[in-house]
Amino acid sequence: MPSFTNKRRVRHSATDMFDLVADVERYPEFVPLCESLHVRRRVASGEGVDILVADMSVAYKMFRESFTSRVTLDRPRLSIVVEYLDGPFSRLENRWTFRPLDAGGCDVEFFISYEFRSRTLGLLMGAMFDAAFRRFAQAFEERADEVYGRRAVAGESAVGSD
């Protein structure tokens, strides 16, 4: 089953990056393939953890699919976990972690693993999803630069790995 991990050192704080990724309603503005995103339900625990259920539609040319996920936004741990609930996948797991750096900025780690329910759909959309996931971390970093500015962190430059 396909999976992808990306770890990037970015010039923005871990809390800023967490906030950016947690702002799921904005995804259609900059996330590759994301056509729409609607939050059905949001529950705050009072402990800095919010859980939301969201419907996301992805589209590319004539292909369009929607799926529902449970998103756990864990601010104290600076992590976001996405659990698949319904849609074209048989399995989807997605995690974000944000680790502050002493010199400023943070390390952002993005992991996704998925499998389409239909082998045919997997063959048709798999390569497109792989290419989009490889651009996700970069899209979020570029969005952070746009939202928070391109401030430099002493002695650091952005690095990425596939």
Please state the domain extents for the chain: 3-161
| List of residues 6+ apart from 99 with CB closer than 8 A | 14, 78, 106, 107, 109
Assigned architecture for domain 3-161? 2-Layer Sandwich (3.30)
Q: What is the CB neighbour count within 10 angstroms for residue 76? A: 8
Per-residue pLDDT tens digits of the chain, which is 162 residues long: 778 888 989 999 999 999 999 999 999 999 988 999 999 999 998 799 999 999 999 887 777 889 999 999 999 999 999 999 998 888 889 999 999 999 889 999 999 888 888 777 777 666 776 677 777 778 888 999 999 887 654 444 444 433
Tokens of 78: 């600076």
Q: What is the CB neighbour count within 10 angstroms for residue 75? A: 15
Distances in Å between the alpha carbon of 91 and those of 61, 86, 88?
24, 9, 9
Angle at 112 between CA 26 and CA 116, to 5 degrees: 100
Angle at 154 between CA 149 and CA 156, to 5 degrees: 85
